[in-house]
Structure 1
């Protein structure tokens, strides 16, 4: 059975980069009828916050990406400790004591000599007495996995054949000096014990994947099928990482982005398939193929989400927005008509508030000096009593006959006087919704 996972750290809000990983893993599981695990990577007790755990779940639920089960790494520390003991017994996990400054000096020296800046394994030469002395002086050391210096290869679901020389990679630190288990070990243990079959993540994890494949083998596990998606950039190719804080899912939601608009874009972005607005998760699943994605950096522009959102809303029936419209104070007898008129003239539901304010209170009219007398004459001819969709045509027809004006010269001054805007809904449909009509002389 296909098993995938999304493993966010609860140290902040999910952003579009995280979503891409979550969505791909979700779609692979759903397409295969498998299991999608939400795995909270909370082994860092200082940075992990419960409020972010709640926010991660809330964001995924908002999008409709429902998980089959949830796991907490903080509740599996005994499993990681057992795996670490096994690696120590094999001689593949060793303690090292270099300070960050010492490691930096070693890297600079190696670079100056034209060598890869990898850890030199000096800790392997330490005697037990030397280790004891260093522990007394510096406290416990970090624990590094001893890589076999051979090529590590796999068939990547996106990148194709990948091969990395382990000798060009530093022995990864699996446990910090304070005892905190790092992602590399925790993820290997979880993937192995939870039967994860497919892992999709960013291209910045390729080197991690190589080391994890060796650790999985050392622990007697079977490596999942890996696929590494391209990294997102800004619309001009700039590094998106600097702006991810403003691209959190909750920020996009607050700006009115609709879930299916966001999912439709992210399910195709960076692939050879065109972006097409989908109406359901099932449609996304049916149209998803991981092999259609490429390795080149992928441009993401948040502005692309808003035309898609507008299209989503144009197709939305009144029943699905009734509560939103009621919260604005729109009377129930005109609320359905208000939605029918406005849904083709909004980008997000947030825009409805301004349109209702205009309908309810009127707008500051815009009247050119040359049109002032014409507008005053026209407003005096506006029929009294309830207005319907015939009122605009009847009124402007009478004004045309009385003033001789026609076309844009007739309609635009009246639109500006009534709404203060050059564009908007068809005036035939908007006029009956205006609760108070006024024009300044």
Structure 2
């Protein structure tokens, strides 16, 4: 059975980049009739915020992503300690006493001599007396894995043939000086315990993957998952208007009124032949992992799909997200003109609030005439056509030449919902007042 996992660090809100990795794992699980596990990487106690977990889970479920089970790494310390004890007992880890400042100075020293800044393994020559003296002085060691130095080769699910020379990689720190495991050790132990078959992640170096493969071999023998590297998330040219795709938060899109299928369409760029969004099950069958890795986040596609979806939603589906007194008639009038649901607030102000229309140069006579010919109430959706029909022979204007200044005056926008639906909601008194203000 395919088993994948999404690793989530509860240190902030879920970004669109994180959602992309979660979605890729979800699609792999769906396509292979497998299972996805949610791993909460909360070992960094200084940065982890437990309250963030529920919000991130809500964001994932809102996107339609679910998981078979979840766990917190902070609850598995005994399991990690057993792995640490085994590695130390097998003499595969060695203690190191350099401070971060000393290590930084070493790296800088090597760089100045055009040498690779990998760790020099100085602590391998540490004597028992030197270790005893360091510990007596209050120092506590961190522990590094002594790598084999061999060349490792593997086949990445997305990038194809890959290799790394472990002699060109620093021996990784697997245990911090406080005795806690580092993420690389905890991750390998978790993947072994939960029988992960495929590790799909965003960005990583070949050296880091090679370290993990060697650690899998040490701790699990032949149980090594396949790796798939998606690479960094890029946005489609010009789509984000200068914003980095990584800065976009799922929570922000959700609050703005983007529908989940719009986010999926923006991440995959794939829709049905008729332009409708696809379900996650449909995407899983249509999209290979390599195809998904090549996708760029396209906000334009996301908003286009979202407009299409919002335009079909019934009032009951959005009533609790609209302004408190918004009516079904209002929703039916504006729903086809919204890229995101939060734009409905602006149109509610147009029909139910006070807006200041701009002064339109050269339109004073037209606006005063239009005000004088406003039909009496009650109004229905024929009032716009009747009003325009009355104005055309008097003003000599037709089409956009007549409609454009009236729309701008009544809504303070040069485009938007059909005025046949909007004008009855605005009402006679607001329309007359706005025509008078715009006329100056």
TM-score of the superposed pair, with normalisation by structure 1: 0.89
Q: Secondary structure at the match of 2:336?
A: coil
Match status 1:121 vs 2:121: yes
Instruction: Give the direction of change, closer, same or farther, for the CA distance of 1:206–1:267 in structure 2 (3 Å limit).
Output: farther
In structure 2, C-alpha distance between the alignment counterparts of 1:183 and 1:277, rounded to whole Å: 41
Q: 1:396 to 1:167 in 2, by over 3 A?
A: same
Deviation at 1:157, TM superposition (A): 0.6
Contact 2:266 2:299 in 1 (8 A): no
Match of 2:204 in 1: 204
Q: Matches of 1:277 and 1:151 in 2, distance apart?
A: 48
* Cα separation, partners in 2 of 1:289 and 1:417, compared to 1, 3 Å: same
Checking the alignment, whether the CA contact within 8 Å between 2:17 and 2:246 is kept in structure 1 is no
- Secondary structure of the residue aligned to 1:370 is coil
Any conservation in 1 of the 2:142–2:175 contact (CA below 8 Å)? yes
2:416 to 416, 420, 424: 424
Match of residue 254 from structure 1:
255
Aligned CA distance change for structure 1 residues 260 and 293 (closer, same or farther; 3 Å): closer
Q: Deviations over 1:8-33 (max 9, x none)?
A: 11122221222221111111112111
* Cα distance, 1:403–1:171 mapped onto 2, change above 3 Å: closer
Instruction: Report how far residue 192 of structure 1 moved.
Output: 0.4
Structure 1 residue ranges without an equivalent (≥5) = none
CA distance in 2, matches of 1:236, 1:405: 41
Indicate whether 1:387 and 2:379 are aligned: yes
CA–CA separation in structure 2 for the residues paired with 1:104 and 1:362: 62
Q: Does the C-alpha gap of structure 1 residues 215 and 383 become closer, same or farther in structure 2, counting only changes over 3 Å?
A: same
Task: Say yes or no: does 1:143 pair with 2:143.
Answer: yes
In structure 2, the CA distance between the partners of 1:302 and 1:186, relative to structure 1 (3 Å rule), is same
Q: Distance in 2 between matches of 1:302 and 1:136?
A: 59
SS in 1 for 2:356: coil
- Name the SS of the counterpart of 1:161 in structure 2: strand
Q: What secondary structure is seen at the aligned counterpart in 2 of 1:232? A: coil
Post-superposition shift, 1:47? Answer: 1.8
- Is 1:437 aligned to residue 434 of structure 2? no
Alignment partners' CA distance in 2, 1:267 and 1:408: 38
Tell me the distance in 2 between the aligned counterparts of 1:89 and 1:369.
86
Contact 1:362 1:434 in 2 (8 A): no
Q: Could you tell me how far apart the structure 2 residues matched to 1:161 and 1:426 are? A: 57
SS of 1:71's partner is: strand
* CA 1:244–1:265: 2 relative to 1, 3 Å: closer
- Closer, same or farther: CA 35–359 of 1 in aligned 2, 3 Å: same
Alignment of 1:228-377 (within 5 A): 228-233=229-234, 246-268=247-269, 278-293=277-292, 300=297, 302=299, 305-325=302-322, 327-331=323-327, 335=328, 337-361=329-353, 363-368=355-360, 370-377=362-369
Larger mean Cα displacement after TM superposition, 68-77 or 250-259: 250-259
Q: Decide which moves more: 99-108 or 340-349.
A: 99-108
Give ranges in structure 2 of 5+ residues lacking alignment.
none
User: Shift in Å at residue 59 of structure 1?
Assistant: 1.4
Summarize the Cα distance change of 1:285–1:90 in structure 2 as closer, same or farther, 3 Å threshold.
Answer: same
Note the 1:61-210 alignment, pairs <5 A: 61-210=61-210
Q: TM-score, normalised by structure 2?
A: 0.89
- 1:408 deviates by 3.1
Supply the distance in 1 between the matched residues of 2:255 and 2:29 (Cα, whole angstroms).
Answer: 29
Give the Cα separation in 1 of the matches to 2:259 and 2:399: 38
Q: For residue 300 of structure 1, report the CA deviation from its aligned partner.
A: 4.4
Separation in structure 1 between the aligned mates of residue 411 and residue 325 of structure 2, nearest angstrom: 20
Where do 1:38-53 residues align within 5 Å?
Answer: 38-53=38-53
Higher mean alpha-carbon deviation, 118-127 vs 183-192, is at: 118-127
Tell me the CA shift for residue 356 of structure 1: 1.4
Per-residue deviation at 1:433? 2.1
**Residues 46-79 of structure 1: CA distance to partner in whole angstroms, max 9, x if unpaired?**
2211112122212112212111101111111111
TM-superposed CA distance for 1:352, in Å, is 0.6
CA distance in 1 between partners of 2:237 and 2:99 (Å): 40
Change (3 A) 1:410 1:48: closer
Cα separation, partners in 2 of 1:364 and 1:110, compared to 1, 3 Å:
closer
How many correspondences in the alignment? 426
The secondary structure found in structure 2 opposite 1:109 is: helix
Deviations 1:285-333 (Å, cap 9, x if unpaired)?
A: 22221132557xx7546566433322331232333123333x43124xx
Taking the aligned partners of 1:132 and 1:303, their CA distance within structure 2 comes to: 63
Aligned equivalents of 1:159 and 1:182: distance in 2? 27
Contact kept in structure 2, 1:202 and 1:228, CA below 8 Å? yes
In the alignment, the residues of structure 2 paired with residue 417 and residue 43 of structure 1 have an alpha-carbon distance, to the nearest angstrom, of: 58
Deviates most, 284-293 or 66-75: 284-293
**CA distance change for structure 1 residues 308 and 193 in 2, over 3 Å: closer, same or farther?**
same
